[in-house]
C-alpha cells in the first residue's frame, strides 16, 4: 500500500519568503537612494505577502513616486524576491528522506504563478517534489478544498489520508481541517491562537514537520 501524500506550503514554510523579499527591498532601496529605515515600513505593508499587490504598489508609489518610477515598484513586487530564495539544507535533507521513504510530495501555494514557480525553481524544489499547484493557475486559493484536490491530482496520488504542512493557521491548517486531513503547523515559535480546530501536530520548522510526518507512517 503506497504511503499517503505530503502536501507542503511554500512561503514561510518550505522557504523563508519574507527574508528573500526583505533582501530584494534592501537592494531596491540602495539602488534608488531611499532611507533604509523605511524597509520595515514596506515589510509591514506587505504583511508577509498577504496584502494585495495593488495596495502595496499604490502606497509605495505615493511615498516614493517623486524618485522611483512606478514601473520599478511594480517590478519589485512582481519578482517578490523570488530569485533570492534559498532552501535550507535541513529542509532539503528532510524532503530527500521523505522521497526515499516512498512519500509523494507536492507543493500547494497561494500567489501568482510566475513568482511562485520562480521560487520553486530557485530553491531547487522542482527536483525534490513530484508536483505543485499555484492558486492563480487553478482559480482557487487555500483554504478552499479545490486547490488541495488539484495538488493531489498534480502529484498523481489520492488526497485521502494526506498530510498538510504549513505556517498559516487559516489557509493551511484550516484547509486541512475542513477536508478531514492530518496537519502539521509550522509555528516558528508562535502559540496557537485559533478556536474551533487544532493541527494534528506542531513543529518549530518545516524540517521537523516533515520528520514527524514520515515518522508517523
Sorted by where each begins, the domain ranges of the chain are 5-16+86-215, 17-83
CATH architecture of the domain covering 5-16+86-215: 3-Layer(aba) Sandwich (3.40)
H helices of 103-165, where? 113-122, 135-138, 145-155
Whether residue 2 is predicted with pLDDT greater than 70 in this model: the reply is no
Torsion on CA atoms 77, 14, 173, 199, rounded to nearest 10: -150
Helix, coil or strand: residue 130: coil
Matching residue, cell 530557485: 122
Whether residue 192 is predicted with pLDDT greater than 90 in this model: the reply is yes
Question: 26-80, pLDDT tens digit by residue?
Answer: 999 999 999 999 999 999 999 999 899 999 999 999 999 999 999 999 999 999 9
Radius of gyration for the alpha carbons in the chain, expressed in angstroms and rounded: 18
Report the pLDDT averaged over residues 2-26: 94
13 touches 120 (CB < 8 A)? no
Q: In the numeric block, which cell numbers belong to residue 115?
A: 513568482
Question: 159-175, pLDDT tens digit by residue?
Answer: 999 999 999 999 999 99
Comparing CA positions, the residue from 96, 29, 89, 31 lying closest to residue 63 is 29
Percent of the chain predicted with pLDDT > 70: 99
Residue 1 is predicted with a pLDDT of 52
Dist. CA 175–CA 164, nearest whole Å: 9
Whether residue 215 is predicted with pLDDT greater than 80 in this model: the reply is yes
Q: At 4, is the pLDDT very low, low, confident or very high (cuts 50, 70, 90)?
A: confident
Comparing CA positions, the residue from 54, 47, 57, 53 lying closest to residue 12 is 47
Amino acid at each position: 500500500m503506497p504511503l499517503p501524500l505530503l502536501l507542503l506550503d511554500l512561503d514561510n514554510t518550505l522557504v523563508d519568503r519574507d527574508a528573500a523579499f526583505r533582501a530584494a527591498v534592501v537592494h531596491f532601496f540602495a539602488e534608488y537612494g531611499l532611507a533604509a529605515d523605511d524597509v520595515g515600513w514596506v515589510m509591514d505593508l506587505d504583511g508577509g505577502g498577504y496584502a494585495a499587490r495593488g495596495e502595496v504598489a499604490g502606497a509605495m508609489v505615493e511615498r516614493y513616486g517623486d524618485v522611483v518610477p512606478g514601473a520599478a515598484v511594480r517590478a519589485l513586487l512582481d519578482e517578490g524576491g523570488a530569485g533570492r530564495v534559498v532552501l535550507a539544507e535541513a529542509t532539503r535533507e528532510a524532503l530527500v528522506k521523505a522521497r526515499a521513504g516512498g512519500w509523494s510530495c507536492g507543493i500547494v501555494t497561494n500567489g501568482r504563478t510566475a513568482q511562485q514557480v520562480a521560487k520553486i525553481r530557485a530553491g531547487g524544489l522542482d527536483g525534490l517534489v513530484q508536483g505543485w499547484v499555484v492558486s492563480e493557475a487553478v482559480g482557487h486559493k487555500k483554504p478552499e478544498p479545490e486547490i488541495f484536490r488539484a495538488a493531489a491530482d498534480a502529484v498523481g496520488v489520492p488526497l485521502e489520508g494526506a498530510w498538510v504542512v504549513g505556517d498559516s493557521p487559516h489557509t493551511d491548517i484550516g484547509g486541512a481541517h475542513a477536508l478531514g486531513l492530518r496537519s502539521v503547523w509550522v509555528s516558528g515559535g508562535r502559540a496557537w491562537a485559533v478556536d474551533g480546530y487544532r493541527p494534528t501536530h506542531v513543529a518549530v520548522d518545516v524540517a521537523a514537520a516533515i520528520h514527524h510526518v514520515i515518522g508517523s507512517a
